[in-house]
Amino acid sequence: MIFIAHRGNTRGRNIELENQPHYLNAAIALGYHVETDVWFENDTFYLGHDRPEHEINVNYLRSAMIWVHAKTLKTLNALLDYQDINCFYINRDRGTLTSIGYIWTSAYRRLELCDKTIVCLPERLGGGLYNFSECAGICSDNIIQYQEAYYDET
């Protein structure tokens, strides 16, 4: 099971720190993968949820621990020049394919799960609706809680 800290959050949302490199690094240091929002503007990559905020060197995104959510199609196009960056674009879709072959799903409605599914924000499902052992990973603002529950069940 892959446990992914949504925007670096591990124990609930922290809007002031989300998507900042040091915050992402702290989650990675705890052993979690991270999902981060990335923008490409004026030939430069930035982290930030609603807008480009924190300039980032593209090499930072090459970590196997980082799942890059391209915030625009222009950003996805720029990221696809780097075969070692794990990236995807999703807007209001039920799911999308990541560049490394996982199915990133948006937990807003009933999901189909398989061994390549990453469930993003399962807390929005109201809990108890799925056996997450059927998927490859979970991305959550409360990823520690999901990891503890997963290991309690196994």
Q: Give CA–CA dist 10/47, Å, rounded.
A: 18
Per the model's pLDDT, the better-predicted residue between 22 and 107 turns out to be 22
What pLDDT is attached to residue 129?
46
Percent of the chain with pLDDT over 70: 92
What pLDDT is attached to residue 5?
98
With bands split at pLDDT 50, 70 and 90, how would you rate the model's confidence at 110? Answer: low
Domain ranges of the chain: 2-153
Percent of the chain with pLDDT over 90: 77
Query: Which ranges of 1-118 would DSSP assign to H, the alpha helix?
Result: 21-29, 73-79
